C-alpha cells in the first residue's frame, strides 16, 4: 500500500520561501513515486484559538483539518522562522488540531490526529541558517503531540536564490537533501503504519 504523504508550510504569504519549498518538495516526492497531498493553510478558515470560542462550537474547518491530518501517516512541515521560532499560524494550527471536541464521536480524543505520525521538518530562510531555529522549537512541540520525528531534516539557507522561475530547487545538493528527508519519512511511516494503523 502506498503511504499517503502530507506536505504543508507554516505560512500563507504568496511569495513565502517555505510555500515554495513545500511545492518543490511535493514535486520531488511525486517523482519518487509517493502519493502526495499538498495542503495550503490559507484554504482553512480557522480563527485564533480561544477556548471560549471553542465552547460555542469547533469551527467546521478545524474538523476538516483534523481529518486530513489523521488520514496521512506521513507529514513534511516546512516551517518559516519568525523571531527565532515557528510562526503563530503554525502554532495556532497545531493548537486547534490537537484540541478535543467534546461529545464528537471521532474527535473527543485531541491527540488522534497527531499520535504516531512520522514527521519530517524542512525550513527555508534568506539567512545562512535557513530557519534552523524554528525547527529546534517545533521538534519538542511535535514530540509532545506523540509524533515520530525523522532524524534527517533540512534547512535551506539563502532561499532567495535557491529556486528557479518554475519554483524548483536549482542545486542538486538541495534536491538530494530534501529527497533524503522524504525517503526517511516514508520509510518510517511504512514501518509504523501496519502496527498502529491510523
Rounded CA-CA distance 19/24 in Å is 9
Show me where the domains of the chain are located. 4-196
Residue 5 in this model has a pLDDT that exceeds 80: yes
Contact 185, 118 (CB under 8 A): yes
* Cβ within 8 Å of residue 13, ≥6 positions away: 19
Q: What is the pLDDT of residues 88-134, one digit of tens each?
A: 999 999 999 999 999 999 999 999 999 999 999 999 999 999 999 99
Per-residue pLDDT at 2:
82
Rounded CA-CA distance 54/110 in Å is 13
Give the confidence band of 197 by pLDDT, cuts at 50, 70, 90. Answer: very low
Rounded mean pLDDT, 36-59:
96
Give the confidence band of 38 by pLDDT, cuts at 50, 70, 90. Answer: very high
Per-residue pLDDT at 62:
97
Judge residue 56's burial from the number of C-beta atoms within 10 Å of its C-beta, 0-12 exposed, 13-18 middle, 19 or more buried. Answer: exposed
Contact 73, 189 (CB under 8 A): yes
Provide the CATH number for the domain formed by 4-196 in this structure: 3.40.50.360
Task: Quote the percentage of the chain above a pLDDT of 70.
Answer: 97
Rounded CA-CA distance 111/116 in Å is 10
Contact 71, 4 (CB under 8 A): yes
Q: What is the pLDDT of residues 10-30, one digit of tens each?
A: 999 999 999 999 999 999 999
Give the confidence band of 196 by pLDDT, cuts at 50, 70, 90. Answer: very low
Rounded CA-CA distance 11/16 in Å is 7
Rounded mean pLDDT, 138-154:
98
Give the confidence band of 194 by pLDDT, cuts at 50, 70, 90. Answer: low
Which residue's C-alpha cell is 531555529?
A: 133
Q: In the predicted model, what is the mean pLDDT of the chain?
A: 95
Per-residue pLDDT at 198:
47
Rounded CA-CA distance 95/144 in Å is 12
Judge residue 153's burial from the number of C-beta atoms within 10 Å of its C-beta, 0-12 exposed, 13-18 middle, 19 or more buried. Answer: buried
* Residue 44 backbone dihedrals phi, psi, to 5 degrees: -115, 135
Amino acid at each position: 500500500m502506498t503511504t499517503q504523504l502530507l506536505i504543508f508550510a507554516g505560512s500563507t504569504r504568496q511569495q513565502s520561501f517555505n510555500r515554495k519549498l513545500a511545492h518543490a518538495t511535493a514535486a520531488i516526492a511525486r517523482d519518487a513515486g509517493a502519493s502526495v497531498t499538498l495542503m495550503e493553510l490559507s484554504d482553512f478558515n480557522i480563527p485564533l484559538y480561544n477556548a471560549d470560542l471553542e465552547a460555542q462550537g469547533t469551527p467546521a474547518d478545524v474538523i476538516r483539518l483534523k481529518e486530513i491530518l489523521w488520514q496521512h501517516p506521513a507529514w513534511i512541515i516546512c516551517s518559516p522562522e519568525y523571531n527565532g521560532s515557528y510562526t503563530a499560524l503554525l502554532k495556532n494550527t497545531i493548537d486547534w488540531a490537537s484540541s478535543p471536541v467534546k461529545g464528537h464521536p471521532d474527535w473527543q480524543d485531541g491527540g488522534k490526529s497527531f499520535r504516531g505520525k512520522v514527521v519530517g521538518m524542512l525550513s527555508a530562510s534568506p539567512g545562512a541558517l535557513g530557519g534552523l531555529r524554528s525547527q529546534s522549537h517545533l521538534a519538542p512541540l511535535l514530540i509532545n503531540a506523540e509524533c515520530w520525528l525523522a532524524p534527517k531534516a533540512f534547512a535551506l539557507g539563502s532561499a532567495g536564490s535557491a529556486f528557479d522561475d518554475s519554483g524548483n530547487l536549482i542545486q542538486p545538493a538541495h534536491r538530494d537533501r530534501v529527497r533524503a528527508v522524504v525517503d526517511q519519512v516514508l520509510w518510517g511511516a511504512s514501518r509504523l503504519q501496519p502496527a498502529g494503523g491510523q
